[in-house]
Amino acid sequence: MTASDHARELVRVAALAADAKKAEDLVALDVSGPLPLTDAFLLASGDNERNVLAIAGAVEDALLEIGAKPIRREGRSEGRWVLLDFGDLVVHVFHQEDRLFYSLERLWKDAPVIPLDLSAPATAD
């Protein structure tokens, strides 16, 4: 089983929004095989708590614009690890230190990576 086209579109929109807020080390993982509850994870890091919250806010706003609604949000009060659950996509925005500590990439090392194209979509002139 692979991530749905819908999940891949959510990943694309979320990654562009995170990148616009200077997120670092963006990684998308296809977790549809081992997890029946979601298709993909997007992992991102911020330099500090303020940056983590800005990234999470931008991702949420961008996904809301395309009609995706969050099922759950956690960690916003601390700004160290914000989890945004959109059903087909779960976004993890970490403070750099927390990302190293929890090392989700290591835990999900067998999950296929979803390629990210962070170039802005072309607009018609």
Confidence band of 121 (pLDDT split at 50, 70, 90): low
- 3-32 pLDDT, tens digit per residue, is 889 999 999 999 999 999 999 999 999 999
pTM reported for the whole predicted model: 0.91
Percentage of the chain lying above the pLDDT 70 cut: 94
Closest CA to 92 of 36, 2, 34, 25: 25
Domains of the chain: 5-113 (3.30.460.10)
Q: Give 52's contacts (C-beta < 8 A, 6+ positions apart).
A: 46, 79, 80, 81, 82, 93, 94, 95
Q: Is 43 helix (H, G, I), strand (E, B) or coil?
A: strand
